[in-house]
């Protein structure tokens, strides 16, 4: 892989972010590090401050990798404005923002299968809408259907979006 890039791919709980990490890792991409935002675990009571600290951690890794000619993909609940607020962020990085989209029905089914309560599920449906709009507000964005496509197709689509020439 000759083109270097940084990508943050987000979606609500149950959208397939961790599955995407596994699918991308199975592709054995050269000069590309792939990480789950939650690597190392999520502490009990993780909140917005934890997410912002973790975002800053990942932006630091991405920028260091980029300066060394290594691409990086981070999949997890990350918010573009929080990424842009990080100390090492610069517009010149041309970060790609992706969103894994699944229907409200799929969110409901997937999270109910995890024994989530109805209020938490509804909050995640609203969070998905917010994340999608945040991604769409960015110049370098893409949406991938995580419901109609199998994990391999999702990974292939993501790579296609990241490797195409940006204008």
Cα→Cα distances 146→19, 86, 101, 127, Å: 10, 28, 5, 16
What are the domain boundaries of the chain?
Answer: 6-163
| Rounded distance between C-alpha atoms, residue 162 and residue 142, angstroms | 9
* C-alpha of 142 from chain center: 11
Instruction: Assign 159 a pLDDT band (cuts: 50, 70, 90).
Output: very high
Across 151-158, average pLDDT: 94
Cα→Cα distances 65→78, 92, 120, 152, 155, Å: 19, 14, 36, 25, 21
Residue 167 has pLDDT above 80, yes or no: no
Token output for 53: 């600290």
Residue 2: per-residue pLDDT: 64
Residue 1: per-residue pLDDT: 53
Q: Output the CA torsion 2→73→160→28 (10° steps).
A: 70
Most confident of 90-94, 132-136, 145-149: 132-136
- 62-75 pLDDT per residue, tens: 999 999 999 999 99
Tell me which CATH homologous superfamily contains domain 6-163.
Answer: P-loop containing nucleotide triphosphate hydrolases (3.40.50.300)
Percent of the chain past pLDDT 70, that is, above it, reads 97
Which runs of E-coded beta strand occur in 76-116? 96-101
Across 126-131, average pLDDT: 96
| Rounded distance between C-alpha atoms, residue 31 and residue 97, angstroms | 19
Q: Please tell me the pTM assigned to this model.
A: 0.92
Largest alpha-carbon pair distance within the chain? 46
**Could you give the residue ranges of the DSSP H alpha helices within the chain?**
17-26, 48-67, 80-84, 104-112, 118-136, 151-163
Residue 166: per-residue pLDDT: 52
Residue 33: per-residue pLDDT: 96
Task: Report the run of H or E that residue 109 belongs to, with start and end.
Answer: helix 104-112
Residue 118 has pLDDT above 70, yes or no: yes
- 2-42 pLDDT per residue, tens: 688 999 999 999 999 999 999 999 998 889 999 999 998 99
């Amino acid at each position: 892989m000759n083109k270097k890039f940084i990508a943050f791919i987000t979606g609500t709980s149950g959208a397939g972010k961790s599955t995407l990490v596994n699918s991308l890792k199975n592709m054995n991409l050269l000069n590309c590090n792939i990480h789950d935002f939650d690597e190392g675990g999520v502490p009990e009571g993780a909140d917005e401050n934890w997410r912002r600290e973790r975002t800053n951690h990942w932006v630091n890794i991405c920028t260091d990798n980029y300066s060394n000619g290594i691409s990086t993909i981070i999949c997890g609940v990350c918010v573009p404005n929080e990424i842009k607020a990080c100390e090492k962020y610069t517009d010149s990085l041309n970060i790609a923002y992706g969103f894994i989209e699944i229907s409200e029905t799929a969110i409901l089914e997937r999270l109910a299968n995890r024994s989530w309560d109805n209020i938490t599920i509804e909050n995640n449906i609203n969070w998905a809408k917010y994340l999608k709009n945040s991604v769409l507000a960015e110049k370098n964005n893409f949406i991938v259907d995580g419901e109609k496509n199998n994990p391999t197709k999702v990974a292939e689509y993501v790579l296609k979006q990241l490797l195409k020439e940006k204008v």
